[in-house]
Chain A
Amino acid sequence: MITLKIDGIEVQVPEETTVLKAAEKVGVWIPTMCHNDLFEPYAVCRLCSVEVVRGKRSRVVTACNYPVSEGIEVLTDSENIRWIRKFLMELILSRWPNVKVVKEMAEKLNVGKPRYESLEKDEAEDACILCGQCVNVCREVVQANVIGFSYRGIKREVVLPLGEQSDKCIVCGACALVCPTGHIKMVIEDYKGKKPEFTLGPKTSIYVPTMQGIPRVPVIDAESCIHFKTGGCEVCAKVCEPHAVNYDMKDEIVEIDVGQILLSTGYDIFDASKMTQFGYGRLNDVYSSLEFEMMLSSMGPTSGKVLTKDGKEPRSIGIVHCVGSRDTNHHPYCSRVCCMYALKFAHLVCDRTDAEIYQFYIDMRAFGKGYEEFYVRILDEGVKVIRGKVAEVSEVTSSGEYKNQLIIRCEDTLAGKILEVPVDMVILCNAIEPRKDIDAVRRLFSISKSPDGFFLERHPKLDPTSTMSDGIYIAGCAQGPKDIPDTVAQASSAAARILSYISKGEVEIDPVRAWIDDKYCAGCRICNNLCPYTAIDFIEEKKISQINDVLCKGCGTCVAACPASAITGKGFSDAQIVAELEGLLAI
């Protein structure tokens, strides 16, 4: 430990501490405009100049990078220091008179109008003040090295190498983050119609995947983390006191032996941009139901406030039901949950804003327990429900009362009139549709799908949770659109079925199976690929195929296909069939 005096106050700090840090410890303010703890001191603004007295000798140094040493006395407010700071500030102010941080610092240092006129004066409010923070953060923290200084002396400038956006730039935004004047801005490009600010993905590279989940620990998103792109940064490891950040953790594939599997792989939502009449992805303030759900969440991008894209509270909102469902062009089925969540949206919006709400529905399907009552309550809250399919959502481009609003065109089938409703925001109730990878999953487990594309159950009425593959069960929207109570019921039922097998300890299988006679099998492998239940394996050592009795359903495909007639259905061998035929014909 080193003992020194700062403005007469004695302080003890570890070796290699800078004077600036030591002063912070005792609460002595030293002005600085270029320092940032993220990187090594750069010492260009010189505002942190202090006087260091050692014995009779005194010298002016910069506090941000001067290492403390035993017995020195630091003067941060001597007459000379005040003069230096004011003078430097005058030079800075004369060059960038309108930059906020410069004006604030000038005020703190009692600098009024500068006495010098700068020929290079830049009157922009967000001018670059050449503090170098962006360059340093990019070089030392991010280690991407894509911003640098160019030109000498008064012509110095912050530039991109060769003036072009480098492909080494990982668009991390660190430079914009540290820029004190706002000279560097992140431009979010609206690409492919996606609104990045409303995606469901994490907002930072470190996030808690589910706030209600257990354990509630943050994770690092390796795809957006600077460290995994450049090897630099490691800011999180530096600030984490218990040293809990571990960059070596990786995704791993774990193999677990199980006897039964419950598939509850969920659903995707219908891409509303396919229905161009609704303008999703093209018009501002047309949201999908999940995006709006995100907006309503207190953890969401607007912290739960309902706001239009330009940050205002909407005066009216239209909620469009059956987007993609009950539509012969897309999905003929009913998605079952939209009516109720649309009503929930209306309820929450009523609660949080004064907006007028319009519901455009085909049929109001409020069939669950307490659902109809909720519908009546919404009607009491003043939500306008209009029966009719929306034909088009368009933007008002002309000036006038409805300028920049959206117009919903629709036929009110109860009143028999065509309506044009001006709204500030449109929420689309997207259809629930099967997951995009459903076919791959289906093949993996040898199960079928129904015409709507969801997993097919063994029997729609008597066995809605099991499948044609023994030991494979389905639950939730993987089987078909359903709401939470239904999903819970189905999943509980599947769990009960699974448990009953586990408690029994053994499995009975049908006697109808095929078997391969080793003597005749030539190892041609024709049967291997034909088996719809992937029950036939090729045994490399013996060069023959073998049937897994548990997987085999006795369908007989392999029996018919085997060129060597090595496969026989148990109980259905040629001899047995001939004998049966003979028995029949003998009558």
Chain B
Amino acid sequence: MPFRLNIMLCTGTGCVSNGAFPLLEAFEKEIKKHELHGEVAVIPTGCNGFCAVGPLVVVQPDEIFYQRLRIEDVPFLVQEHFLKGRPVKKFMYTPPETKEPIPVMSDIPFFGKQMLIALRNRGLIDPENIDEYIARDGYKGFTKAITTMTPKQVIDEVKASGLRGRGGGGFPTGLKWEVAFNTQSDEKFIIINCDEGDPGAFMDRSIVESDPHSVIEGVLIGAYALGVKQVYIYVRMEYPLALKRFYRALEHATEYGLLGKNILGKGMDLEIEVHRGAGAFICGEETALIRSIQGFVGEAQAKYIYPAEKGLNGKPTIINNVETWANIPQIILRGAKWFASIGTRGKNGDGGSTGTKVFSLVGKVHNTGLVEVPMGITLREIIYDIGGGIKNNKKFKSVQTGGPSGGFLPESLLDLPVDFDELLKVGSMMGSGGMVVTDEDNCMVDMARYFLDFVQSESCGKCIPCREGTKRMLDILERITFGQGTEEDLVKLEELSKLIVESSLCALGGTAPNPVLTTMKYFREEYEAHVKNKKCPAHTCKPLITYTIDGKICVEKGHGCGVCRKNCPQSAIAGELKKEHRIDPAKCDKCGICYDVCKFDAIYVD
């Protein structure tokens, strides 16, 4: 029975931690109370993407978008909108610049510039219901492949689409498949890489949480093309919801005869086994992941021979990331030509980046969340049009693409098109799609130190340049942020970076110095300020800043109110009412409380 209204309630991890499930209960209770349960259905969906304003619902079929809902808002909303048919303006999204609420989801700029392929079902279906996936042309790509195409044709189609691996390396997927296809072996494997370890990245998690069947369908197509009977999915232990939904999807697909023996009566067999990762960042690297599945310590192996030739148990193994797999059904269903028409085309027809890419847009932008955009879009469009610009009227400083070992790009490069090769050229990378925006309050030396610390502690420690070299770089960066850096240190940083890039065993080491190299290239003046003047221009590095009270303002405007003195945990502020206050630099531990509590802006940082 069709419903009059479908309340699509986001149950992605972001909204769940903001209380989506209690909200779901509240909706159901309230709808029942008004006896609307025959007309209005509440459907928990995967991640909507606009995580910044969760928990959120979209009321279909009119696409009315409500944000930041609280349980106490529910009775009013149900009564007004669902019962009386009057959309409630006060729960709608209001852009900061216009102050005019936007009722319809696709009119919101955050969604307007997006183009959904991998995430096409997000927010539209219940991820735990296979029928809803099938209703949205689900498994149509697979049936097309298995009934009308030969394996070779499938591989050629993927090749022609120009799809490149979404996990980070950007290796052409079709080429990888072709290598495995041409390698003779009694057994071949497919591995779905869902070990998404970049801090602040959640593309793969969202895909599995909002549309797990798209991944299974992609793998079915790949398994048909390569003659694979055994598939492994490597999921982080930290993704319990994704795991739950994937298990449910496996159950349903098996029930519908899409997995197991003699699939669709075509004599194809396929098993998918879930392997849970134990939390090592390096296990996202394909050779380390293979070793982890084999039961060894996750360590990268030299890749002079590709896993597509010799991988798991020495057999040809195709490892693709979740997002790559989710693109496959659409490529087969709608054709390589359609896919290749989106995005950029490299010179001479090769290279280039086709299709769309999912980014997790985080940091100092208004609209943080998950966005899927066509390749070739500029960074400026993503940050300003979709992301809504920088928060609190601050100035944009840099954007880091590609996870912890991606580079920081300055404002001058904001018009760079998002493309695998273009990003590499400027010293960053596509990576798996992390995008961290920083503003003027972020010290670039400290950012470089932070990400190097992450890479350093997540290095498997196998090879010397990555293990010893990154630690030495971190030592130097720590020295600099403590104001003990010398100009020689800057030379050493560059030298160490070169060594690590040139001689590391795997891509983790090969890209680890990127944050340092790009910040040194684009924000060298900040390094010099730290080293030469012992100052941190962004006022982030504590040992390099001092808090001072402007005596004039303190007395004239604040009349020596003493709030700072009362709040100082170190008792470092001395002064009397109506008189000038002073900070004792020897006692001050630079916590910044005085700065925050002073209502008269009498305290300044230098």
Contact = CB atoms under 8 A, between A and B. Distances in A.
Given A153-B458, A154-B456, A154-B467, A88 B302 contact: no
B503 A44 contact: no
B131 interface: no
Interface string B61-100: 0000000000000000000000000000000000000000
Interface string B449-484: 000000011111111110111111001000000000
A152 B472 contact: no
B467 A87 contact: no
Contact of A116 (B302, B305, B462, B472): B472
Contact of B464 (A41, A45, A139, A149): A45
Given A41-B302, A62-B302, A154-B456, A149 B505 contact: no
B449 to A, nearest CB: 15
B505 A153 contact: no
Given A91-B465, A91-B468, A92-B464, A149 B304 contact: no
Contact of A60 (B297, B304, B460, B502): B502
A65 B464 contact: no
A353 interface: no
B457 to A, nearest CB: 5
Interface in A139-167: 139, 148-149, 151-156
B108 interface: no
Nearest to A119: B475
B531 interface: no
A156 B304 contact: no
A45 B464 CA distance: 6
B244 to A, nearest CB: 28
Contacts of A156: 460-462, 467
A88 B305 CA distance: 25
A88 B465 contact: yes
Nearest to B509: A46
Contact of B460 (A61, A91, A94, A152): A152
Nearest to A69: B304
B472 A118 contact: yes
Contacts of B467: 130, 153-154, 156
Interface residues of A, number: 36
A59 to B, nearest CB: 9
B304 A88 contact: no
Interface string A38-81: 00010111100100000000001110011100000000000010
B134 to A, nearest CB: 43
Given A60-B502, A88-B503, A153-B456, A43 B472 contact: no
Contact of B503 (A84, A118, A152): A84
B464 A88 contact: yes
Contacts of B459: 152-154
Contacts of A61: 304
B282 A152 contact: yes
Given A152-B457, A152-B460, A67 B472 contact: no
Nearest to A61: B304
Interface in B297-313: 297, 299, 302, 304-305
B472 A91 contact: yes
A118 B459 CA distance: 17
A87 B495 contact: yes
B499 interface: yes
A72 B162 CA distance: 30
Nearest to A92: B464
B280 interface: yes
> Which of B280, B468, B475, B504 has the largest number of chain A CB atoms within 10 A?
B468
Interface string B390-416: 000000000000000000000000000
Interface string B479-518: 0000000000000100100010011110000000000000
A299 B471 CA distance: 52
Nearest to A89: B464
Interface string B275-302: 0000010100000000000001101001
A216 B504 CA distance: 51
Given A43-B302, A45-B464, A61-B304, A148 B297 contact: yes
Nearest to A52: B304
Interface string A369-390: 0000000000000000000000
A49 B280 CA distance: 27
A60 B499 CA distance: 11
Contacts of A41: 302
Contacts of B302: 41, 43, 62, 65-66
Contacts of B296: 139
Given A92-B468, A118-B472, A119-B475, A152 B458 contact: yes
A120 B471 contact: yes
Contacts of B469: 91
B468 A154 contact: yes
> Which of B280, B296, B457, B461 has the largest number of chain A CB atoms within 10 A?
B461
A80 to B, nearest CB: 8
A513 interface: no
Interface string A79-104: 01000100110011011000000000
B461 A46 contact: no
B304 A67 contact: yes
A46 B468 contact: no
> Which of B297, B464, B502, B504 has the largest number of chain A CB atoms within 10 A?
B464
Contacts of A60: 502-503
Interface in A4-59: 41, 43-46, 49
A36 B77 CA distance: 72
Given A44-B463, A153-B470, A88 B499 contact: yes
Contacts of B282: 152
Contacts of A95: 468
A97 to B, nearest CB: 13
A115 B462 CA distance: 23
Given A91-B469, A148-B297, A155 B461 contact: yes
A91 B280 CA distance: 25
B296 to A, nearest CB: 8
A46 B475 contact: no
A155 B492 CA distance: 23
A84 B502 contact: yes
Nearest to A149: B297
Nearest to A148: B297
Nearest to A156: B461
Contacts of B280: 152
B461 A154 contact: yes
A66 B469 CA distance: 23
> Which of B462, B470, B475 has the largest number of chain A CB atoms within 10 A?
B462
Interface string B298-334: 0100101100000000000000000000000000000
Contacts of B468: 91-92, 94-95, 118, 154
A161 to B, nearest CB: 11
B463 to A, nearest CB: 5
A91 B458 CA distance: 19
A486 to B, nearest CB: 64
A60 B465 CA distance: 14
A61 B303 CA distance: 10
Given A44-B505, A61-B304, A88-B464, A153 B471 contact: yes
Contacts of B305: 67
Interface in A218-232: none
Contacts of B470: 153
A66 B303 CA distance: 9
Contacts of B458: 152-153
Given A62-B505, A84-B499, A153-B457, 11 more contacts: A46-B463, A46-B465, A65-B302, A67-B304, A91-B465, A119-B475, A130-B461, A132-B462, A148-B297, A151-B461, A152-B280
13 contacts: A43-B463, A46-B465, A46-B505, A49-B502, A65-B302, A66-B302, A84-B502, A116-B492, A132-B462, A148-B297, A149-B299, A153-B459, A156-B462
Nearest 9 interchain pairs by C-beta: A156-B461, A91-B468, A153-B459, A154-B471, A44-B463, A46-B503, A153-B461, A65-B302, A87-B499
